[in-house]
Amino acid sequence: MTSFTDHDDLKHLDEKDPLRLVKQRFLIPDGVYYMNGNSLGPLSTDAKTRMDKAVSEEWGHELIKGWNTAGWYDMPKRVGDKIGTLIGAKPGETLLCDSTSVNLFKAVNAALSIQKGRKKIISESGNFPTDLYILDGTRRFSKGEYELATLDRSEILNAIDEETAVVVLTHVHYVSGEIFPMKEINLRAHEKGALVVWDLSHSVGAIKTDLEGSCADFAVGCGYKHLNGGPGAPAFIYAAKRHHAQIRQPLSGWFGHEAPFSFIDDYIPANDARKLLCGTTGVLGASALEAAVDLFLEVREEERLEKLYRMSRLFDAMIAEKCSPYGFERVSPPDPENRGAHLSYRHPDGYAIMQNLIAKGVIGDFRAPDYLRFGISPLFMGYEDLLKVTDILEEILKSKSYEAAQYQVKHAVT
Q: What backbone phi and psi angles, to 5 degrees, belong to 158?
A: -75, -15
Q: Which residues of 10-23 are buried (b: 16+ CB within 10 A; e: fewer)?
A: beebbeebebeebb
149 forms beta bridges with 122
- Catalytic-labelled residue, pool 46, 98, 131, 199: 199
User: Rounded CA gap, 414 and 50, in Å?
Assistant: 25
- Smallest gap from Cβ 98 to a copy of itself, in A, equals 7
CB 195 within 8 Å of CB 115: yes
Answer yes or no: 128 catalytic. Answer: yes
Name every residue whose Cβ is closer than 8 Å to that of residue 307 and which is 6 or more positions away in sequence. 17, 19, 378
- Smallest gap from Cβ 3 to a copy of itself, in A, equals 31
- Smallest gap from Cβ 306 to a copy of itself, in A, equals 26
Compute how many other C-beta atoms are within 10 angstroms of the C-beta atom of residue 236. 34
Answer yes or no: 351 catalytic. Answer: no
- Smallest gap from Cβ 278 to a copy of itself, in A, equals 5
Answer yes or no: 199 catalytic. Answer: yes
User: Rounded CA gap, 35 and 319, in Å?
Assistant: 14
- Catalytic-labelled residue, pool 106, 118, 307, 373: 373
Query: Is 213 or 250 the residue whose CB approaches a copy of itself more closely?
Result: 250
Answer yes or no: 225 catalytic. Answer: yes
- Smallest gap from Cβ 396 to a copy of itself, in A, equals 19
Name every residue whose Cβ is closer than 8 Å to that of residue 366 and which is 6 or more positions away in sequence. 350, 351, 354, 355, 372, 373, 412
- Catalytic-labelled residue, pool 128, 180, 236, 380: 128
- Catalytic-labelled residue, pool 4, 33, 180, 224: 224
- Catalytic-labelled residue, pool 50, 225, 275, 330: 225
Q: What backbone phi and psi angles, to 5 degrees, belong to 316?
A: -65, -40
Q: What backbone phi and psi angles, to 5 degrees, belong to 62?
A: -80, -25
User: Rounded CA gap, 325 and 217, in Å?
Assistant: 45
| Active site members | 128, 199, 224-225, 373
